[in-house]
Structure 1
Amino acid sequence: MKTTRSYTQTARADGKVATRERIIAAAHDLFLESAYEDVTLATIASASGVSHQTVLNHLDSKLGVVLAVAELLSTETAAARRAEPGDVAGAVHALVGDYEHMGDANFRWAASADRIPELAEVLDGARAGHQRWIAEVFGPDLPDTEGDRSRAVVALHAATDVYTWKLLRRDLKLTRSETEKSIVDLVVGILKGTDR
């Protein structure tokens, strides 16, 4: 009997994890396609095939869902942006690939952050992660002195930010290849400028 009870508890726990993951995956897809305000707990429940109450039982609130989706996006971003330190073209190619996947959603969340404080906190974490990526990928080419290094990281952040991608790709209607070349030019210019 103990074996059956243990198996039943394990199966139930596995089912809870699978349900939570299904909810987060559905919310992830909805947030990539729609504005934050347009994604409701009801639409998340419907897309994941569970009840509204089940979403609340697993993630407590829309904020809980957002934080779980942000964690998933952070993991995806880290995997998508892998590049060899010092390989500017490879890093920018990975970055633009990531923005092609989630840049529009990132921009929509940033636009909503002024009205929704919890989104501002999520975006602050994303910005900090972006600066860590910059320091890791461009680190070998950054200046040694702290002040110069900090200025270079800020300039590189501006050159590689989602707003820059949006300006080039969406507003100026450049191709992906042209966008990558433009961002590489900006990055190389900043890195060469720090040699002075």
Structure 2
Amino acid sequence: MSSRDYEMRARAESVTATRWRILRSVLDLATERLTVEVTLDDVAARAGVSVRTVLRHFGDRERLLDAAFEAAAADIIAERLAPADDPTRAIAVLVDHYERRGDLVLRLLAQEENPRIGPAMATGRLVHREWVVNVFGTALPGGMQEQEAVIDLLVVATDVYAWKLLRRDRGLGRVVVEARILALTAAVLADAREGKSE
């Protein structure tokens, strides 16, 4: 590799690293405050760059927010990947995800009326429902109506608000929260097997 190729590669890696640092700063700030309160000055300071650098990478604040939410969505899907039909492992993966992103998601849910945030939250609900079907699929009862009722209950039992109630409101430890969510899902499935979930 020539010194010119090396310099170009190093420059490209530096640009990519700066871009990710800026996006991470947006997401960190969005966990701490409402997105309308996240300024370019704050993002630049958190990322250790100038506002001009932020604008050079993203153009304006709106495109910066869009890029940050898009990056977060991709990370969330990857973080939530869990083995199908292994609820114990899947709940552990989910609680790990909530430990990393739960506060951000809760803050975004509080801003759902924002036209930039609302569609992302609607997509998140669909993704979570699909996750439930993937994880608990073989344990679901036979009929469509029965399945929908059980899926609804499992969605509630594994929702970020369940994590919030146990972890943030009750102050329970991560391991206890995981055990409680697993107990909730087991109870829902046990009731379904006995025909009590309709």
Do these two structures clear the TM 0.5 threshold for a shared fold by scoring above it? Answer: yes
Which deviates more from structure 2 when the two are superposed, residues 53-62 or residues 175-184? 53-62
Counterpart Cα distance in 2 of 1:99 and 1:148: 28
Q: Give secondary structure in 2 for the equivalent of 1:117.
A: coil
After superposition, residues 6-25 of structure 1 pair within 5 angstroms as 15-25=14-24
After superposition, residues 163-182 of structure 1 pair within 5 angstroms as 163-182=161-180
Counterpart Cα distance in 1 of 2:31 and 2:125: 18
Counterpart Cα distance in 2 of 1:32 and 1:85: 30
Matched, 1:186 2:150: no
Paired position in structure 2 for 1:119: 117
Paired position in structure 2 for 1:27: 26
Matched, 1:50 2:67: no
Counterpart Cα distance in 2 of 1:142 and 1:69: 36
Q: Give secondary structure in 2 for the equivalent of 1:136.
A: helix
Counterpart Cα distance in 1 of 2:86 and 2:171: 26
Q: Is the 8 A contact 1:134 1:156 kept in 2?
A: yes
Provide Cα deviations, 1:115-174, integer angstroms capped at 9, x if missing partner.
x22111121122222122112111221234333222222221111111111111111222
Counterpart Cα distance in 1 of 2:12 and 2:175: 46
Matched, 1:84 2:100: no
Q: Is the 8 A contact 1:88 1:138 kept in 2?
A: yes
Identity of aligned residues (%): 35
Counterpart Cα distance in 2 of 1:139 and 1:6: 51
Which deviates more from structure 2 when the two are superposed, residues 167-176 or residues 142-151? 142-151
Counterpart Cα distance in 1 of 2:74 and 2:189: 27
TM-score, with length taken from structure 2: 0.81
Tell me by how many angstroms 1:19 deviates.
3.3
After superposition, residues 73-152 of structure 1 pair within 5 angstroms as 73-114=72-113, 116-152=114-150
- Give the root-mean-square deviation of aligned CA atoms: 2.6
Q: Give secondary structure in 2 for the equivalent of 1:90.
A: helix
Q: Is the 8 A contact 1:63 1:118 kept in 2?
A: no
Letter in 1 for 2:35: Y
Give unpaired runs (5+ residues) of structure 1: none
Counterpart Cα distance in 1 of 2:96 and 2:6: 43
Q: Give secondary structure in 2 for the equivalent of 1:72.
A: helix
Residues 90 and 16 of structure 1, relative CA distance in 2, 3 Å threshold: same
Give unpaired runs (5+ residues) of structure 2: none
Aligned residues: 193
Counterpart Cα distance in 1 of 2:7 and 2:99: 43
Counterpart Cα distance in 2 of 1:138 and 1:129: 14
Which deviates more from structure 2 when the two are superposed, residues 5-14 or residues 163-172? 5-14
Counterpart Cα distance in 2 of 1:28 and 1:147: 39
Residues 173 and 11 of structure 1, relative CA distance in 2, 3 Å threshold: closer
Which deviates more from structure 2 when the two are superposed, residues 142-151 or residues 10-19? 10-19
Paired position in structure 2 for 1:64: 63
